[in-house]
Amino acid sequence: MVRRGPLQAGEKVQLTDRKGKKITVQLMAGEETQTERGVIRHDDIIGGPEGAVVVTLTSEGSMESAAEAYRHNPRKPWKNTRKIGGWQYTVMRPRLQDFILSMPRGAQIMYPKDIAQVIEVCDIRRGMRVLESGGGSGAMGLHLLDAVGAEGELTTIEMRPEFARVCEANATVYFGERPAWWNLLVGDFDSKSQDLPEHYFDRIFLDMLDPWNRLENAWRVIAPGGVITCYVTTTTQLSRVAEAMRESGQWTEPEISETMERGWKAQGLAVRPNHEMIGHTGFLITARAMAPDVEALHKRQRATKDTYSDIDELTPEQQQARLEELELRDISDRKLRKVLKDLDTQVANIAKSAAGGESLPQ
């Protein structure tokens, strides 16, 4: 639902001061919001446009005293009137990213950087039928609902009833009503997916502890050529998902990625990255579903290359043979002679330079 025009009661707005501090509130007629710098009356915002500036009052202050302080020093009203408020906030409708970061939640939400990558790599578009497992607080679900639109369909399977309630409430607040194109199921993935039609969904997103145990049921309900993306946080989970996909033969070679995010400061000549960044949060493993009775094509493993056995469990002779087989240690005799010749020349040049002589030709 796209909201335009004057701000209405029931909407959420984001208030941002000149220092960049943000407050998200739901507008209600006759209500007030207490801030560190005074009170904001919702009635002063309702009916007004986005991009307006609202000025705080004190609890015992009045609109007249704040207006007088603002007229006295319109550029910096807080300098002389902090005791009666006078702090300014810009009023905007929150973006979806802002809404998610400020919404009530029980479970840890996915970061916007990961959500954006899921929408991209899973290729989720208008009108698609999407299955999501692991609703959490609804951060990913809100983006999926927005991406598929009313022409599409989202089915979310959430194991915990209390999380399903949080999910549903956040979606209702964001869209202004419960999305009609959303099917929210409470229960475990295996049992609930059994009731879903075969090869029905265009896309599947799994956010759970053990997605490798759900791949069989996921393949049953996804259409041939459909895209699946799994979100996990540890390397052990990552490995198990990738190997399970390869072993089943029902999925194409998995593509694996993670995203880092770093903001920048740009003030005059002070242009530099921020001191803090959002580093590792999770891995995305993406693959496509093969048609029934068709084996996926995967890169063939070299017969001499064993990447699975623990080298500490081998005998000394086997360990030596393994080291000789490692691809990264492979180098031809011709290449090795060239490397040694170059290094001999460079070492000799150092000695000649120290003695004041001329260097050898490179």
Binding site for S-adenosyl-L-methionine: which residues? Answer: 158, 188, 207
Q: Name 123's Cβ contacts closer than 8 Å, sequence gap at least 6.
A: 203, 227
Token pair 């209500």 in the structure block, residue: 31
Task: For the beta carbon of residue 175, count every other beta carbon within 10 angstroms.
Answer: 15
Task: Kindly give, in sequence order, each residue whose CB lies less than 8 Å from that of residue 138, ignoring residues fewer than 6 positions away.
Answer: 103, 105, 166, 167, 168, 170, 171
Phi, psi dihedrals of residue 318, rounded to the nearest 5°: -65, -35
Report the distance separating Cα 327 and Cα 89, nearest Å.
60
d(CA 44, CA 28): 11
- For residue 213 the two structure tokens come to 């145990």
CB burial readout 68-102, b (16+ within 10 A) else e? ebbeeeeeebbeebeebbbbbbbbbebeeebbbbe
Cα 180 versus chain centre, distance? 25
Sign, Cα dihedral of 290, 296, 299, 301? positive
* Alpha carbon distance 166, 162 (integer Å): 6
Tokens of 177: 């009503």
Annotated binding site: 158, 188, 207
What are the CA-CA distances from residue 284 to residues 53, 262, 311 (Å)? 41, 19, 29
Grouping H, G, I as helix, E, B as strand and the rest as coil, residue 22 is strand
> How many of the other CB atoms lie within 10 Å of CB of 324?
10
